[in-house]
Each structure stands twice: as structure tokens, then as C-alpha cells.
Structure 1
Amino acid sequence: MNRRLGLAVVAVVLLLSTAGCLSYVTGGGEVSDERLDREPAQPYSWDTDRDAQLTLHTTDEVQAIYRVDADQRLRLYQSTGLGTEGPLDISAVRFQYANGTVISGTELRDTPDGEVEQTPDEVYVTAPADGQLAFSADATPRRLSLPVYVEGSYEVILPEDYRIDFFLFGNTAPRGAASEIVDNQVHVRWAEVTGPMVVVQYYLDRDLYVFGGAVVLLSLIGVGGLYYYRRQIDRLHDVRVQMGLDTEEDDDKK
């Protein structure tokens, strides 16, 4: 019985090891043409003057634009938990040359100097020339967290009606960010970011009213509970007096 169990464990370990090695040999799966050339949810804002601009039109997807140099290779990855990393699930890849010409993700991959290569741990994208690289990726609602793929000036644009000011619900990292509201969207800016992560935690503006209402309600419940508790104590004292149980105590107080 023990021998069979041992053989089964060895077989499972070998199977997992073989699968892992195979994934590395095959490159962990290619980024499909459909994903590379997918239309972005909103047009990319190529006119940014930042080295990196991260725009959230919705809470579950980020549009990233990075200023890159010719032959610059970006390693796009994300944390998958327990200290491990996995490839960033990119789509709608576009590249804009310095002269304004925009090419799709498959066209970038097919250029002599361009590259889009996925491994089990990351996606490598190599810029074919000086310009801007744009792509879309999934985002965690109300918390944007991305590694710093490109160092320099950063800007994060939040969806409409979302804010970062209230310290319990809002936060930014690294420190030193400046923010302003433009057309009901918060713009968070850093003059220089060198890593390792850019994090913006944000909340819906009306959440504060819900939070305030909950605090008031809990306060009223607490006050009501204390009042009820005090009334019960007074009533119990009156009953004890009527039964003559607290007579001696009252006499001592006199």
C-alpha cells in the first residue's frame, strides 16, 4: 500500500515537472493575433507628455501608454500571489512611431526589429523604433497596481466620479504624487518614478455618503443600546428597592 502511494506521488511530481518544462519549451503560449489587434475600449491618448500614462475608463481595465526607445525591451509581468510572477494579459497592442504612424500588435511583431514574445512568467515586447507603446490589460477594481516597466514621469487617470482623498479608502504609491480633477476625473502625477510599483487605491465618490450614513446609524444604535442598558439597570434597582433588597445599601449611603 505504501509502495503504491509512493509511486503515485512520484508520478504526479514527474507529471508536473514535465508540464512545467514543456511550457518553457513552448514559450508558455503565444499572444494571439486576435488579442494583439483587438480594438481598444477607448482610443489611446497619444498626445500625453508623460513617459507613462495609465488610464482607467472603467475600474476593471487599464490602458497603458509608454514612451520607448528603439530596441527597448519591456518585460511585462504581474504578481500572481505567493511570490510568483506571470505574464501580463495584454491586448489591443499598438505602436506609434515618432512621425505619428500607428501600427497594430501583429504588425509590430512582424517588423524586423519588433518583438512580442510570451513565456510562462512574462511577455516581452521590443520597440521597433523610437515612439510610444500602448496596450490594454485587466485591472483590479478600485486598486490599480502595476510594476514600473518604464522609469520616468507617470500619470494615472481614474474613471469619472472616483476619488483618492479620503485616507481610509484612498492611497497612492510611491509618495510625492500630485493630483487634480479634470472633467470629473482625478489625474495623479509623479515627476519621476523609478520603481518598483505604481499603486493607486481609489473609491467611488458616493461611497463616502454610504460610509457616513453607516457611521451615523451605528452611532445611533450604540447610543440606543446604552440608553436601553441604563434603563434596565434603573428598573432592576427599583424592583430590588420594592422587594426591600437594597434597603440596607440605601441606609448606608445616608
Structure 2
Amino acid sequence: MNRRLLLAGVALAVLAVTAGCLGIGTGDVPAERIDAAPQSDYAWDSNVTTHITIQKNADFRAVYEMNRSEIELFRRDGFGGRNPLSVEAVRYRYPNGTVINGTEIRERGGEVSQTRSVTTVRLPNDAPANGGGQLAFTSSGSPKRFSLPTYVEGSYEVVLPENRHVEFPVFGSVNPPADEQTTTDDGRVRLHWTEVTTDTVAVQYYLQRDLYIFAGILSVLAVVGIGGLLYYRRQIESLKEKRQELGLDVEEDDDVGGGPPPGMK
């Protein structure tokens, strides 16, 4: 009986979490997260609507030119739903260049909160009425792959980590195809789109050593395959020789001597 009650309690807890009844992960994003310092300076002066810098640990720093006073940040889950984008080191830069952190955004009437489907950032009350300024934050990504909805329309730029590439098919891809690809002075690939019209920008990239590892694996597989084929062929020949020694493979021509079949004489 106790076991049934325990199972029922667990099932009820699962239902409560999936239904959002417990409110886990919702509400204001903690101050220690939104006020944290970014790993490097944000690219405020990139001259594009959206600028993404991907770090070696797959986290990325994003800077958006705001054309409205509120933005919803999320990822698509592949089933038609949305999950909130986890953000930290949130900063807002006024058109005059003044930068404030997440707590200051709230203190000035703004918002940085999260629901079960989106993370909402509302600009301070003293921000320009039509949005204006720039919003920056840091978030996490997947190793060797960046994919994010295009929250703001306009020009787009993605800077890959050092020594990452996208040219080799299968290992690298850019969707939609970039209008321009350049390399920075420190060896980072920069992808630029003059105008993004798709719902998502996705970039798959690789290290040069990945190609060497792949080539090495193919070489090993080729050697193993050829060796296995030669071994199999040798085994067949050895078996054939043994059968011949035992007289099992001796075939007689039915027409030898031109005589009638056995028993017909």
C-alpha cells in the first residue's frame, strides 16, 4: 500500500512540474546571473543589427540593436514549442553610450524574467520610446554548432572561435548562406549577412584537426577492410586446397571415353 502511495506521489509531482504548477524556473532571473561580468567585452560598435561572438566553450555573447522596448528570447524545441533562453551578464546600452546592468534595468522600470517558454527583457522606462539602444547578454550553446532564432530583423554577423572553419561539407555548414566570409586579424572566421530573412541562423563549424582525425579513421577502416578481405580470400583458397587433397573437388567429365552412362553397358 505504501509503495502505491509513493508511486502516486511521484506521478503527481511529475504532472505538477510539467504543468508548471510549481513554477520552477519561472519569475525574475536571479540578480547574480544578470549582473555577472561577461567573459570579454561586448561588441557594441560592430555596426550590424545583430552581432554574435561564439566563445571556445560554446557560450556566445550577443548584441542586438533594439527597435522595440521588449524582446522575447527562446529556442525552438523541434516539436513546435519554445523553451526559454538562459541569459546572464545582461547589459543595456543607451544611445548616448551609457551602459547599465540587469539590476539597474529593473530599478529603472525594466524587466528580466523567465517563463516556461520565453525569457523576456523589457527596456528601462527612460529608454527611447521606440526601443533604441542596444541589448547584450551571454548565453550557452552547443559544441561546434550555433543555432538561434533571428529575434531582430536586419544585418547579422557571427564570429567563430579561433581556428574554427565552415568550408568542408558535412563538417561545416552555414544556413542561410552568408553574404560575406572574412578572417579577422586573430584568425577568427567572420560571417556576415546584409539582411537575414529566415527565422533561424545556424552555423556548424569544426577544428582543422577534426579533418585529420576523420581521415585517420577512414585510413584505419580501409586497412582493416583490405586486410579482412585478404584474410577471407586466403581462407577460401586454403579450404579449396584441403578439399582437393581429400579428393572432394575432383570432377569427372561425363563425356570422357564417349561411352554410355554407368549401368547402361
Scaled by the length of structure 2, the TM-score of the pair is 0.81
1:154 to 156, 159, 166: 156
Q: Structure 1's 216 and 38: CA in aligned 2 closer, same or farther, altered over 3 A?
A: same
After superposition, the C-alpha distances for 1:69-112 in whole angstroms (9 at most, x for unaligned) are 3x431101123564432221100011112222211121122224
Q: Structure 1's 18 and 39: CA in aligned 2 closer, same or farther, altered over 3 A?
A: closer
| Structure-to-structure mapping, 1:48-59, within 5 angstroms | 48-59=46-57
- Pick which of 91-100 and 80-89 moved more: 80-89
Q: Which residue of 1 aligns with 2:172?
A: 170
1:221 aligns with 2:202: no
| Structure-to-structure mapping, 1:1-254, within 5 angstroms | 8=8, 12=12, 16=16, 20-21=20-21, 23=23, 28-69=26-67, 71-80=68-77, 82-112=79-109, 114-127=110-123, 128-129=127-128, 130-182=132-184, 183-248=186-251
- Pick which of 229-238 and 15-24 moved more: 15-24
Whole-angstrom distance in 2 between the partners of 1:136 and 1:240? 73
SS at match of 2:121: strand
After superposition, the C-alpha distances for 1:7-62 in whole angstroms (9 at most, x for unaligned) are x59x92897289625639xx922111111110001111111011101111223311
How many residues in Structure 1 have an aligned counterpart in Structure 2?
A: 244
Tell me if structure 1 keeps the 8 A contact 2:74–2:83: yes
Displacement of 1:239: 1.5
Tell me if structure 2 keeps the 8 A contact 1:53–1:65: yes
More strand by share: 1
Q: Which amino acid aligns with 1:16?
A: A
Tell me if structure 2 keeps the 8 A contact 1:151–1:195: no
Structure 2: which 5+ runs fail to align?
A: 255-265
RMSD, matched Cα:
2.9
Whole-angstrom distance in 2 between the partners of 1:209 and 1:22? 49
Displacement of 1:116: 2.2
